Amino acid sequence: MVGLETVRLVGDAGEVSTTTAPFAEVASSNAALRAFLHGLPGVDRVGADARAAMLGTRSIKTTAKAKAIDLAISMVDLTTLEGADTPGKVRAMCAKAVHPDPTDPSVPRVAAVCVYPDLVATAVRALDGSGVKVASVATAFPSGRSSLDVKVADTALAVAAGAAEIDMVIDRGAFLSGDYLKVFEEITAIKAACGPAGGAQEGEHSAHLKVILETGELATYDNVRRASWLAMLAGADFIKTSTGKVQPAATLPVTLVMLEAVRDFRLRTGRVVGVKPAGGIRTTKDAIKYLVLVNETAGADWLTPDLFRLGASTLLNDLLMQRQKMATGRYAGPDYFTLD
Amino acid sequence: MFEYAPAPESREIVDIKPSYGLFIGGEWVDSQGENHHKTINPASEEVLAEVAWATEADVDRAVRAARAAFTTWSALPGSERAKYIFRIARIIQERSRELAVLETLDNGKPIRESRDVDLPLVAAHFFYYAGWADKLRYAGFGRRTTDGHSGEDPRPLGVAGQVIPWNFPLLMLAWKIAPALACGNTVVLKPAETTPLTALAFADICRQADLPPGVVNIVTGAGETGAALVNHPGVDKVAFTGSTEVGRMIARSVAGTGKRLSLELGGKAANIVFEDAPLDQAVEGIVNGIFFNQGHVCCAGSRLLVQESVADEVLDALKRRLSTLRLGDPMDKNTDIGAINSAAQLAKIRELAEAGVNEGAERWSPACPIPERGFWFPPTVFTGVAQSHRIAREEIFGPVLSVLTFRTPAEAVEKANNTPYGLSAGIWTEKGSRILWMADRLRAGVVWANTFNRFDPTSPFGGYKESGYGREGGRHGLEAYLAV
């Protein structure tokens, strides 16, 4: 079960760009996909909730807390996804992303900013050379209720504007009606629209694909596990909990189930997929609970911004406030942290 | 690796006296003997306090105090007794942090467990039985109404002599004292010789709650004190939790005396994992089943029966999970595995583990540093275990798991039941009908489905066969303290 090699198939756009040898036949038909996904071990809700709650009691103090705060800052996908977003708002957020605390240059920059496709170009200009990536939601975010053509075009728009990461949504309607193949094929199509596999060639652009499961609409942990595997089989680089537009958004047990999925997927295929809880993570305490969950579920290999992100907006200021408290022993008032 | 910095709970909150007497008739009294023993912190071997080991004369004095208090206590309306028990429950909640720290210091269990499991359950037990005190006539014992006439209300038994073990010192005290008081009995309780401190703190709580003198008496000591208590002619009821060996001795000595007896003894529970189990949660359940409280749990899932078709997968996942367990200072809030309670227990665990190796089973433990002082045993898994091996038959009472495989549900039942014990069992499957089919056939007092080692005051607990008789907890637990 362990150590099977990843096989990368270089194909035309629209084909499965990355698949894995043990599961080559899994997506040959809806029936085959269904048999595979329903053959995964079930998730007992009570047990998963209890495990997440127990890990939530870990006490992270002093040096460990300082390290965790910096790690969490470096994993933040600073996000604005409002109808009222403007270039000015996005530029302000980008400035914050690069220098979260203007008075303290030792604060790490965040991992990425996350915006709608039409604002990608603005963000790319604002972040040029900073090392902060630009992520864009796409595929008729947040509901995903449009045609595949529109979703592909939406993705292409964002990629062309320079997005390094695409946060797509799955078709939850198709998933819940049992049409797993449709979900799979949409993900592979969007993956293709992200650019050629195996990294960008000269002058060509390739974006990382995060697949949003919208776990609040999938409702059961069994569905979360199946959707995680479905997305990974279809080539997701990251699996992400939520759009932030549906309640509940990210929760610890849902993230636990997803972390188990990426851990098992690596064991069986050798390919490493990242995880991004998003929505509802507002405090340093919450963020540290997620880091503990990663550490004790998928393992320390995932404790890097390349493989774990926190989708959030207000979290960053709480992290900064706690960071300053660790350094000075005192809390500064909220006016000492910028609102962007 | 994300290293967690030490996060020790403060011990400032507890005030341990250098020496303790006996709690008899609502007062602290000196023992009439000269026998004093030290109780130590098993994680550091540091001496915590000195306690008296009560003599036969001390026990006699305690039983007389309980007898004297019984007349008025049993005559109180149930609603009045309930007030005292509710008050005790609230004080336990208010002092829970202090009691958790004290329990961890004296017992060696991780503070996370004493704080999150033991203390909430202790308070819940007192709350639960406080609620029964004025409703005993509706509990199904006594006061028959079938012929239209109301009969007698159920009556208490009298003085209960209670002897409890060291694995859950305060929780076992709660299981014993709460129903006894609710039913109108008075008690003389002997805590284990290695873990007397929380029982002595409980004596202080009885005073704080203004419990009438003599209703609860605490006599500390070892086996001789326990024998003096259970053999005392003034005791009407004996309740014992501990080893099957001692339980047998007690049953012999109580036979023919007219004393009522309930015994909660050893176990060798099967935790049965089917191929269609929720595997990640099953692995957690296996860990919780045998490594919770260092395996010092009478209902521990010490035999893992795993369906052969998923055995490798489950064992790989289990070993991976075990390597994340954190063994060390029980006072650290992030510790998962604490210290073995005593040198004697450690020696017994070592002896049985050696027997496992000698009989041909394969021994595995995760790499984990063992502290230099104190009593420690790493989490250990034996694979290739046969039913005939000692480690598959004898209670180890330590963090040692024996793994066996099965092929069919019928074989699982046969192996699970093939033990002189019958305290608990666990079933892991997503198939509801199989849970019911198995539960019907397993001869164990508690059968958990897709969970393990979960306790609740409303749920009766007790054993089959050599695991003892009588039930504690729930409505059933009242029967052991009523003349029915």
Contact B2 A291 (CB under 8 A): yes
Which residues are CB-neighbours of B233 under 8 A, at least 6 positions away?
Answer: B257
C-alpha A25/C-alpha A9 separation (Å) is 14
The residue type found at A312 is A
3-state helix, strand, coil in chain A (%, to 5): 50, 10, 40
C-alpha torsion angle, residues A91, A94, A98, A103 (rounded to 10): 60
A210 neighbors A166 (Cβ within 8 angstroms): yes
C-alpha B282/C-alpha B317 separation (Å) is 10
- Give me the residue from B3, B450, B451 closest to A64, CB to CB: B3
> In chain A, which residue ranges form alpha helices assigned H by DSSP?
30-38, 45-55, 62-74, 87-98, 120-127, 148-160, 172-176, 180-193, 215-218, 221-233, 252-269, 284-297, 315-328
| DSSP letter assigned to residue A301 | G
Q: What domains can be seen in chain A, in order of their start residue?
A: 26-329 (3.20.20.70)
The residue type found at B94 is E
| DSSP letter assigned to residue B373 | S
Among left, alpha and beta (phi > 0; psi -120 to 50; other), residue A129 is: left
A2, A46, A59, best to mutate vs chain B, most B CBs in 10 Å: A59
Closest C-alpha to B191, from B149, B152, B143, B242: B242
Q: Which residue in the block uniquely carries the two structure tokens 């910095």? A: B5
Helix pair angle (A120-127, A87-98), 10° resolution: 40
ipTM higher than the 0.85 cut: yes
Q: Please state, in angstroms and as integers, the Cα–Cα distance from residue B310 to each residue in B138, B277, B318, following that order.
A: 48, 10, 12
Q: What domains can be seen in chain B, in order of their start residue?
A: 19-265+466-479 (3.40.605.10), 270-456 (3.40.309.10)
List CB contacts (< 8 A) between A303 and chain B: 2
What does pTM read for this prediction?
0.94
**Which tokens sit at B234?**
């003034």
Q: How many CB atoms within 10 Å of residue B89?
A: 24
C-alpha B379/C-alpha B395 separation (Å) is 16
Question: Exposure string (b/e) for A231-251, b if CB count within 10 Å is 16 or more?
Answer: bbbbbbbbbbbbbbeeeebbb
Closest C-alpha to A109, from A95, A121, A91: A95
Contact A295 B285 (CB under 8 A): no
B453 neighbors B116 (Cβ within 8 angstroms): no
The pLDDT tens digits along chain B (484 residues) read: 689 999 999 999 999 999 999 999 999 999 999 999 999 999 999 999 999 999 999 999 999 999 999 999 999 999 999 999 999 999 999 999 999 999 999 999 999 999 999 999 999 999 999 999 999 999 988 765 556 556 678 999 999 999 999 999 999 999 999 999 999 999 999 999 999 999 999 999 999 999 999 999 999 999 999 999 999 999 999 999 999 999 999 999 999 999 999 999 999 999 999 999 999 999 999 999 999 999 999 999 999 999 999 999 999 999 999 999 999 999 999 999 999 999 999 999 999 999 999 999 999 999 989 999 999 999 999 999 999 999 999 999 999 999 999 999 999 999 999 999 999 999 999 999 999 999 999 999 999 999 999 999 999 999 999 999 999 999 999 999 999 8
A38, A40, A44, best to mutate vs chain B, most B CBs in 10 Å: A44
- E strands, B42-156, in order: 46-52
> Is-catalytic flag, A151?
no
- Give me the residue from B4, B112, B281 closest to A64, CB to CB: B4
The A-side interface with B (CB below 8 A) comprises 1, 41-44, 46-48, 50-51, 57-65, 67-68, 71, 260, 291-292, 295-296, 300, 303
- Give me the residue from B6, B116, B284 closest to A51, CB to CB: B284
Phi, psi of B17 (to 5 degrees): -75, 155
